[in-house]
Amino acid sequence: MSDRTIPRGGAARVLDNPWLGRTAILVLAVAIYVFPLIAHSDYRLYLGTQVGIYLLVAMGLNLLSGYTGQPSLCHGALLAIGAYVTAIATVDHGWSFWPAALVGMAITAGAGALIALPAFRVSAWYFALITLAFAEVVGGMLIEWGGLTHSFSGVVGIPMPSAFGQSFNAAQLFWLVATIDIACFIMMANMMRGRFGRGFIALRDNEIAARASGISLVRLKMFAFVVSAAVTGLAGAFYAVQKTVITPDDFTADVSIFFLVVVVLGGSGRLWGAALGTVAFFVVPELLTSLQAWRLLIYGVVLLALMLFAPHGLAGAIASAWRSLRVALGASPRPPPPLATAPGAPTVQKVRGMAVSIAGLLKRFGGVTALDRVSLKVEAGSVHAIVGPNGSGKTTLLNMICGFFRPDEGSIRLDDVEVVGRSTAGIARLGVGRTFQTPKLLPELTATENAMLGAFAAERASTIEVALWAPRARREHAALAAQAEHFLGFVGLGERVHEQAGELPHGQQRLAEIARALIGRPRLLLLDEPAAGLSLTELDKLGALIRSIADLGVTVVIVEHHLELVADICRHVTVLDRGTVLAEGTPDAVFADPAVIAAYMGARPLAEAAS
């Protein structure tokens, strides 16, 4: 084919037309709702409903394991809890389906909160083992608590939901489940483009970035567990009514493992991953029954191929094929980003800088005394440098100020607030922003989304408003995106706002971190070696940037090795050497100090003689 037959770019424009996606989704939705009318077999309808139920579980699990990075091997057990509560309440206690399902959902959510507890203490892999143990315990309880669960014989005769005195038929159950699936999908999509999506991904990819952005890890993780479990519990309620009989055999450990495989191979942490995984690993094998003899082989080959060639699962593979198609048709590698056009793009506001007063700060790591009773004052609104050889305790000092580590002794006052013992999130919320010596961005998100993370604590739209993408959530999102682009422009990254953070060079990642800190409107900004790896021109720009941040009134504490930059932007310098303050004063005086020169040259005896 030549350029003449397909106007290059023209075809790409068709692909980029938002109506294409909307039409595809409309067709899909119509197909789903028409399905019971054309299924022509009870079995297919049954299978369709089951897909819908499994999809709910997969979506719940994707939230927790895919987005939040907590690999759960107990979603089969959570499904069992929802199913058994519903079954027991309706069959043994004569409840109607609706309250039974609600209670089942609530109890499953409670179980989710319970399994969240170990997740705060152990790494992801230990956590996966703990969830597997939980699944075993639940499986055991289904058998042992026979008085409640009827042990091996299970609960029999679970009635269909009914409305207005009419019991649902199979098609109506399908429609109900499909509607819940679609609602759940839309709400997940909304959550993920709002602050929760950024927060979950921060929990998964960089907890330190999350803490520095004022996110309470405990609250957000707990939230992910509870929502994930609640969705799974709801799926359990439908599982029970569809099967009409449930026994412990329905919920063995391989059910949990199956769901994790579905999510991972479908595309974990991707919106369509759960749906693609459910279709590929549940529906397709069912359809392959005619190829019975080959079925396992085909299944195995596909699994292997996915693991080898599609690290981001089916959803990732499809997304990258789509990108290649667009490029082949002459489009730019990225779709044109919708520019944030919030009314009243932000003007950078002046703030009142925060004063820092540190006294007698002591921090030991095992045998290493990183900080040895350091005392230090930083004037509100000043630019204050901390310099010193590698390993002298500079980063540790910043980590103490923003609460990443708790000092062994000493006090840190920000204005008049003692912050020793406060959480990182709490300190960030007081108005402390920071950047890191090695940049800590979320590599899969764009520069804009990374910057938006910095405002997590300041966002006001409620969970429900975000889930429904209500006007307030929409407005807040647009305003925040505009602010993020504004601050990225302010730090000199205006051209790269829509690029993935992981693709930015190191120096620019540091600048993006400054934008992320600024969007939280800090009154104290801590910069850890922001100039490392910058070119000379970039260094000049950084100097100007820090000066303009100081002009806003923000107190800046900068750890830096480039002494010319320090001399240029700071009026106060503190020199640390092996955890103690070696010298203090104006850059001119400090850099002329023989003890400082000696410490920097590594002439220890001279430094010791001088101190």
Which position among 384, 394, 486, 496 is part of the footprint of ligand ADP (CB under 6 A)?
Answer: 394
Which does residue 198 touch among Mg ion, ligand ADP, none (CB within 5 to 8 A, set by kind)?
Answer: none
Closer residue to Mg ion (CB): 355 or 370: 370
Subset of 468-507 contacting Mg ion (CB under 5 A): none
Q: Per rule CB under 6 A, is residue 537 in the interface with ligand ADP?
A: no
Q: Pick the closest to residue 158 from 94, 241, 82 (CA basis).
A: 241
Subset of 551-580 contacting Mg ion (CB under 5 A): none
Q: Select the span of 287-295, 345-353, 388-396, 474-482 touching ligand ADP (CB under 6 A).
A: 388-396
Q: Pick the closest to residue 346 from 134, 488, 157, 175 (CA basis).
A: 488
Which position among 395, 450, 555, 574 is part of the footprint of Mg ion (CB under 5 A)?
Answer: 395
Closer residue to ligand ADP (CB): 344 or 367: 367
Contact 517, 545 (CB under 8 A): no
Tokens of 401: 């100020």
Q: Per rule CB under 6 A, is residue 391 in the interface with ligand ADP?
A: yes
Closer residue to ligand ADP (CB): 221 or 394: 394
Tokens of 63: 């939230």
The residues with which 137 forms a beta bridge, in sequence order, are none
| Number of residues near Mg ion (by CB under 5 A) | 2
Strands (DSSP E) contained in 70-177 are 155-156, 162-163, 166-167
At 191, the amino acid letter reads: M
Q: Per rule CB under 6 A, is residue 388 in the interface with ligand ADP?
A: yes
Give the separation between CA 118 and CA 542, rounded to whole angstroms.
43
Q: Which residues of 497-527 are buried (b: 16+ CB within 10 A; e: fewer)?
A: bbbbbeebeebbbbbbbbbbbbbbbbbbbbb
How far, in whole angstroms, is CA 90 from its chain's centroid? 38
Q: Per rule CB under 6 A, is residue 393 in the interface with ligand ADP?
A: yes
Q: Per rule CB under 6 A, is residue 392 in the interface with ligand ADP?
A: yes
Which does residue 63 touch among ligand ADP, Mg ion, none (CB within 5 to 8 A, set by kind)?
Answer: none
Tell the smallest beta-carbon distance from residue 401 to ligand ADP (Å).
12
Give the separation between CA 611 and CA 606, rounded to whole angstroms.
9
Q: Select the span of 72-80, 340-348, 394-402, 474-482 touching ligand ADP (CB under 6 A).
A: 394-402
Tell the smallest beta-carbon distance from residue 433 to Mg ion (Å).
18
Which does residue 390 touch among Mg ion, ligand ADP, none (CB within 5 to 8 A, set by kind)?
Answer: ligand ADP
Q: Which long-range contacts (CB under 8 A, 24 or more apart) does 91-97 make?
A: 91/155, 91/156, 91/157, 91/158, 91/159, 92/155, 96/161, 96/162, 97/159, 97/160, 97/161, 97/162, 97/237, 97/241
Closer residue to ligand ADP (CB): 116 or 557: 557
Which does residue 330 touch among ligand ADP, Mg ion, none (CB within 5 to 8 A, set by kind)?
Answer: none
Tell the smallest beta-carbon distance from residue 558 to ligand ADP (Å).
13
Contact 141, 149 (CB under 8 A): yes
For 60-82, give the DSSP string. HHIIIIIIS----S-HHHHHHHH
Q: Per rule CB under 6 A, is residue 390 in the interface with ligand ADP?
A: yes
Q: Per rule CB under 6 A, is residue 206 in the interface with ligand ADP?
A: no
Q: Per rule CB under 6 A, is residue 368 in the interface with ligand ADP?
A: yes
Q: Per rule CB under 6 A, is residue 86 in the interface with ligand ADP?
A: no
Q: Pick the closest to residue 515 from 486, 540, 537 (CA basis).
A: 486
Closer residue to ligand ADP (CB): 190 or 395: 395
Give the interface with ligand ADP as residue ranges (CB under 6 A).
Answer: 365, 368, 370, 388, 390-396
